[in-house]
Amino acid sequence: MKFVIDTHVHIYPFYRVEQALESILDNLSRTGGDAIKIACLTERYDCNLYEELATSPGNEVRKSFSIESLEGSLLISRHDGEGDFYLLPGQQVITAENIEILSLNCLKRVVEGNSAADTVRDIIEQGGVPVIAWAPGKWFFKRGKVIRALIDEFGPSDIALGDTALRPLGWGVPSIIKAARRSGYKVLYGSDPLPFAGEEFKPGTYVTLIQTESDSASIDSLNPGSVLKNILVANPEVESGGSRGSLLEVLARLYRNSQAPKPPRQPAN
């Protein structure tokens, strides 16, 4: 069975949510074809879209999509029958060391501001999949040592590393990722849209492609969350798909992000 998964999806409150959902489906379909499509929300501290979609989606969303609440995920389908995808809950956690760790496939929020190691332990305790997310400039010097310490402490069945579309074309694979991959750690790929208007088109552009031994006969009983967790404990083929931006494009996006207003941080409890 084939899966195409964006493991780093932000949909911010000021996005046109219906457009972000359209982009997820269009972009995943463009890269994955008839593969099963999964998007992993990594919600910032001020976002609560998963619950909103599950309980009270907006009018514009309802015009285009039907949303079915499943056990641990949402099945989002176009009304015209032209495709669907699974949406998993999750969070982006900023640690005390200013490292981004994703809590994938996890409904319960993890407290921000703790050490990186405690954050990983909290995510595992809550049943989530912890992913150490690469971000421009955040894996050097002291923070690089913190990430290496995490890899030393937690095994390949505990954590994964994350690559994003913000790593420009021509920018080599970080040495930490290379070394971790040689040691059996999985690398997951995601789009990582930024918090300013217009980024609604980015979700689903850089993705994780997975091939498992399961056949299509089990699709009706599919649990997309278990697919994600099995990446760490099983040994599926994992590749990247989609595209990343040029250096100039990424720099322009990062500059716009630096100018965008940020709400006061209110860590989850």
- Predicted local confidence at residue 143, as pLDDT: 94
d(CA 23, CA 58): 17
pLDDT, position 214: 61
| H or E element that contains 211 | strand 206-211
State the pLDDT at residue 137.
Answer: 87
d(C-alpha 19, C-alpha 11), whole Å = 10
- pLDDT for 268: 44
pLDDT at 148: 96
Rg (CA), the chain: 17
Tokens encoding 40: 């992993």
- 232: closest CA among 208, 216, 207, 215? 208
Q: How far is CA 211 from the centre of its chain?
A: 18
- The pLDDT of residue 215 is 55
Cβ atoms within 10 Å, residue 211: 13
Q: Give me the pLDDT at residue 219, please.
A: 52
**Could you tell me the two tokens for 63?**
């015009």
112 contacts 145 by C-beta, under 8 angstroms: no
Contact 11, 17 (CB under 8 A): yes
pLDDT, tens digit, for every residue of 78-113? Answer: 998 789 999 999 999 999 999 999 999 999 999 999
Q: What is residue 222's three-state secondary structure?
A: coil
Q: Which residues in the chain come in under a pLDDT of 50?
A: 216-217, 267-269
Q: Report how far residue 246's alpha carbon sits from residue 97's, in angstroms, rounded to the nearest whole number.
A: 29
**Tokens, residue 29:** 């379909």
Domains of the chain with bracketed CATH: 2-259 (3.20.20)
Specify the pLDDT at position 216: 47
Q: What's the pLDDT tens digit per position in 177-203?
A: 999 999 999 999 999 999 999 999 999
φ, ψ dihedrals at 4, nearest 5° = -120, 120
Q: Is 192 helix (H, G, I), strand (E, B) or coil?
A: coil
- Read off the pTM: 0.93
Would the CA dihedral through 42, 45, 47, 53 be positive or negative? positive
Residue 121 tokens read as 């332990």
Tokens of 53: 């979609």
What is the rounded CA–CA span in Å between residue 212 and residue 172?
28
Report the candidate in 160, 164, 104 with the shortest Cα–Cα distance to residue 129. Answer: 104
Q: What is the per-residue pLDDT for 212?
A: 78
The full DSSP string for 142-168 is: HHHHHHHHHHHHS-TTT-EEEEETTS-
The letter for the amino acid at 210 is I
